[in-house]
Amino acid sequence: MLYAQVHLTLPAWVHDTVDATRAYRSDAEKVALAIDLSKRNIEANSGGPFGAAVFGPDDRIIAVGVNRVVPHACSVAHAEMMAYMLAQGRTQRLRLNRDAEDRPVGPITLATSSQPCCQCYGATVWAGIDRLLIGARSEDVETLTEFDEGPLPADWVGELQSRGIAVVRDLERNAARAVLRAYGESGGARY
């Protein structure tokens, strides 16, 4: 029998941790939330050391995501992918920054604990993101853990910017690096 359904979930602790009514006004606050999610995910042993959050124009959370690759045996269950899928489901918009009549709805921001891998980079192009906020860099991920972030265009930031996606790097980078370091030193599973 072939499976005809995909069912991915966030861990239960997310519902008790995230305040969806709060406005996260600064870029640093947005990335700090993503980093906190990544830290809690490894502390709860519910996935890898990555967190992400999609914010609407009012600076409130549309959706969050954490890495769920191993718990779901699903290679696409990265934090950014989970956040995108949940945001799209919640808003019923394929491109988060466009409404049903293709009018702008935004800006839509993704905050992520670490630079998107090649898979999440590609999804960012199509998900309708206006701003991408990043904590740790891919070289931090690869140096502090054993993850392979995959190939990106040489000028990946320029490629996103040419598509209208503003990129801000190194927000709360030391805090993001600390989570990655702790995970790498613990010998955690490679999600």
Residue 122: strand, helix, or coil: helix
Confidence band, pLDDT 50/70/90 cuts, at residue 191: very low
Q: C-alpha distances in angstroms, 167 versus 69, 99, 115?
A: 26, 23, 10
Q: Which CATH class is domain 39-163?
A: alpha beta
| Contact of 144 with 116, CB cutoff 8 Å | no
HSE, side-chain direction, 13 A CA sphere, residue 146: 7
What residues does each domain of the chain span? 39-163
| Contact of 184 with 146, CB cutoff 8 Å | yes
| Model confidence pLDDT, tens digit, residues 103-117 | 999 899 999 999 999
In the chain, what percentage of residues exceed pLDDT 70? 98
